[in-house]
């Protein structure tokens, strides 16, 4: 069954409401809230370079006879699934979300604590998911519900972990590439599990749950470190 109004309510509205709730509950000032929404907007826009890069890749691969790697809807070979999951969905999307937060907040006061990195990068991921979900408005309600719950949670949690290392790279000792690697691994694994075998979606949902638990624990750890370092009262 397909219902555009229902799909809209399931995907686009909740994503924006989550950012609104976080901006009211977990930010300290109007400037922080503005940075959160700016990260959301930059994440939203990040899907444009993603689409352009994929289009360019299709043209290049088509010229050498390998365009089916990106365009085929029937090729579920392990090589194709892994390349699409980890190279396209993982590396490309997570790198663009990281770039979105870097442009939106890295050199601003809003990124003044480790928790800020988690919140801002999660907001960028939600912005990306907001735009991406709009492509599924005419899909079956079951697919849209899956994306509204599991996929959006995966986007936010995987990118949130990456945001912690982004903040560490600015405020403390740390390297953002370690967080990017984790985000790519989580995102790629989730996508691969959804199509790898009939039973594998169960493990995909377990991966999402583990990611949410991990980023929640990391947020608490970040808050403790921020207090100890005097970055927040």
Of 51-55, 136-140, 175-179, 185-189, where does mean pLDDT reach its minimum? 136-140
Q: Is 29 helix (H, G, I), strand (E, B) or coil?
A: coil
pLDDT value of position 79: 81
Tokens of 112: 């003044």
Closest by CA position to 40, among listed 65, 20, 59, 10:
20
How buried is residue 191: exposed, middle or buried, by Cβ count under 10 Å (0-12/13-18/19+)?
Answer: buried
pLDDT value of position 182: 96
Residue ranges per domain, the chain? Answer: 4-66+75-228
pLDDT value of position 26: 81
The 8-class DSSP code of residue 231 comes to S
Per-chain mean pLDDT for the chain: 86
- Is the pLDDT confidence value at 11 over 80? no
Residues 105-124: pLDDT tens digits? Answer: 998 888 889 999 999 999 99
CA–CA separation, 160 vs 19, rounded Å?
A: 13
- Is the pLDDT confidence value at 172 over 90? no
Q: DSSP secondary structure string, 144-170?
A: HHHIIIIIHHHHHHHHHHHHHHHHHHH
Residues 131-169: pLDDT tens digits? Answer: 888 777 777 777 777 777 888 899 999 999 999 999 999
Q: How confident is the model at residue 6 (pLDDT cuts 50, 70, 90)?
A: confident
CA–CA separation, 212 vs 158, rounded Å?
A: 8
- Residue found under tokens 């370092």: 229
CA–CA separation, 184 vs 53, rounded Å?
A: 17
pLDDT value of position 155: 93
pLDDT value of position 233: 59
- The vertex-20 CA angle with 15 and 22, nearest 5°, equals 95
- Residue found under tokens 């990456």: 162
- Is the pLDDT confidence value at 15 over 70? yes
| Four-residue CA torsion sign, 194, 196, 197, 203 | negative
pLDDT value of position 71: 62
Residues 26-72: pLDDT tens digits? Answer: 887 888 899 999 999 999 999 999 999 988 887 877 777 766 666 66
Tokens of 229: 């370092």
Question: How far is the first Cα of the chain from the last one, in angstroms, to the nearest whole number?
Answer: 51
How buried is residue 198: exposed, middle or buried, by Cβ count under 10 Å (0-12/13-18/19+)?
Answer: exposed
């Amino acid at each position: 069954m397909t219902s555009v109004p229902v799909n809209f309510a399931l995907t686009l509205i909740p994503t924006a409401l989550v950012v609104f709730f976080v901006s009211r509950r977990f930010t300290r000032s109007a400037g922080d809230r503005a940075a959160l929404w700016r990260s959301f907007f930059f994440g939203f826009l990040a899907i444009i370079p993603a689409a352009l890069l994929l289009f360019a890749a299709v043209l290049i691969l088509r010229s050498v006879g390998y365009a089916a790697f990106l365009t085929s809807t029937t090729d579920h070979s392990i090589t194709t699934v892994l390349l699409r999951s980890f190279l396209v969905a993982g590396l490309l999307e997570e790198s663009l979300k990281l770039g979105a937060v870097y442009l939106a907040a890295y050199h601003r006061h809003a990124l003044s604590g480790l928790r800020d990195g988690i919140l801002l990068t999660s907001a960028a991921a939600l912005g990306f998911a907001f735009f991406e979900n709009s492509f599924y408005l005419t899909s079956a309600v079951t697919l849209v519900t899956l994306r509204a719950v599991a996929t959006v949670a995966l986007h936010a949690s995987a990118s949130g972990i990456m945001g912690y290392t982004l903040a560490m790279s600015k405020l403390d000792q740390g390297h953002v590439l370690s967080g990017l690697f984790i985000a790519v691994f989580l995102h790629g694994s989730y996508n691969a599990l959804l199509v790898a075998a009939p039973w594998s979606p169960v493990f995909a949902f377990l991966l999402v749950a583990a990611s949410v638990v991990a980023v929640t624990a990391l947020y608490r750890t970040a808050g403790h470190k921020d207090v100890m370092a005097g970055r927040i009262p």
